[in-house]
Chain A
Amino acid sequence: MSCASFESNPNSKPDWKAYVLGELAPDASRQAEAHLAACSICHEEVATLRLTVDTLSTLREEEVPRRIAFVSDKVFEPRWWQRVFTPTFAAGALIAAAILVHGAVRPGQAQVEAAVTEAVSQVEARHRLEMQVLSDLVEQRDKQVANMYLSNAALVR
């Protein structure tokens, strides 16, 4: 059974579901209430809808089985130096330090050339000395051989 008031213009019938769900604008809501007070058919329709919504509200709300939380405990938070001294940072710092030390202690070009000249002259001097010693040994042996020939010749004679 439907309300005869809106048969000629069904679009003018209040949206009873929106009314029960609290979605009608204040003006429309007041008009709907005025009609409800005079119409038992619409009154029953609204009562049934309200009962359905009320029945739905008997559904028990469940407790959350376990708390949802994100770690923010200070114990687990890294200290400032732990945040700074990551492995990447440490490696970078080491390389930077090596570059700085190298830059600070690096000898000049003239010093390098002087050191090379010194090293070369030392090697040459050592070489000359070794050659002199060898030459003396050869000369000494030649003398010994000559003496040996002279001695042998005297014996033969």
Chain B
Amino acid sequence: MIFREVEDPDLIAKARRGDVEAYNLLVSRWEKRVFNYLLRLVSNREDAMDVSQEVFLKAYQSLPKLDDPARFSGWLFRIAHNEAFSLLRRRRPETELAGEPRPPELGPRMQPMELSLTVETALNRLSADQREAVLLKVYQGFKFDEMAEILECPVSTVKSRLYTALDLLKVTLAPMQKEILRGES
């Protein structure tokens, strides 16, 4: 007998018929990706967790409206995008007062944790729109046209945000990149 993993569209069909277990399986497949996307976007674990739960609840309630189950991932991230930016809009004054985070000092040999923290800091220095473009492309692997659907904007806008972000990151991460190259040589 050939074991075939249940595909997302099958789970979606079952969930639409009220099978909550099927939906929970779908959630378990996507929760880590959605949580990490939200975590990098809102920069707070508790907020990211709360928004993640809200995203999956809204997705469950809106499943009958999903036209093409094959495009579930883009549809799900679109809900996540809306929820995240709704939160960011609500807390904007607080964020503006928080000040800019400082990157950790670069040592002779950076540890993986320090590398990760430096990247996180560099991402946080981008605007929310630029950061989101990087998150969707580099970490979530969406294509430009899929990103345009998620963000509800033209592909040209997606590219503009992403390319500006990459230029900024190239400058911000340059000292770290030299460190990595020195470590490799």
Contacts and interface: CB of A to CB of B under 8 A. Distances in A.
Contacts of B177: 48, 51-52, 55
A68 B116 contact: no
A57 B20 contact: no
Contacts of B52: 64, 68
Interface stretch (B67-75, B81-89, B168-176): B168-176
Given A56-B169, A58-B112, A72-B24, A64 B120 contact: no
B137 A21 contact: yes
B76 interface: no
A106 interface: no
Contact of A17 (B20, B24, B35, B162): B162
Contacts of A71: 20
B20 A52 contact: no
B31 A55 contact: no
A93 to B, nearest CB: 26
Q: Secondary structure of the A side of the interface?
A: loop
Contact of B27 (A63, A66, A68): A68
A63 B40 CA distance: 13
Interface residues of A, number: 27
Contacts of A62: 35-36, 39, 45
B119 A55 contact: yes
Interface string B15-30: 0000111011001100
Contacts of B40: 59
Q: Which of A17, A64, A67, A71 has the most CB of B within 10 A?
A: A64
20 contacts: A17-B159, A17-B163, A17-B166, A21-B137, A51-B177, A52-B173, A53-B138, A55-B115, A56-B119, A56-B139, A57-B138, A58-B112, A59-B116, A61-B32, A67-B28, A68-B27, A68-B52, A68-B53, A70-B20, A70-B24
Interface of B: 19-21, 23-24, 27-28, 31-32, 35-36, 39-40, 45, 49, 52-53, 56-57, 60, 112-113, 115-116, 119-120, 123, 134, 137-139, 143-144, 159, 162-163, 166, 169-170, 173, 176-177, 180-181
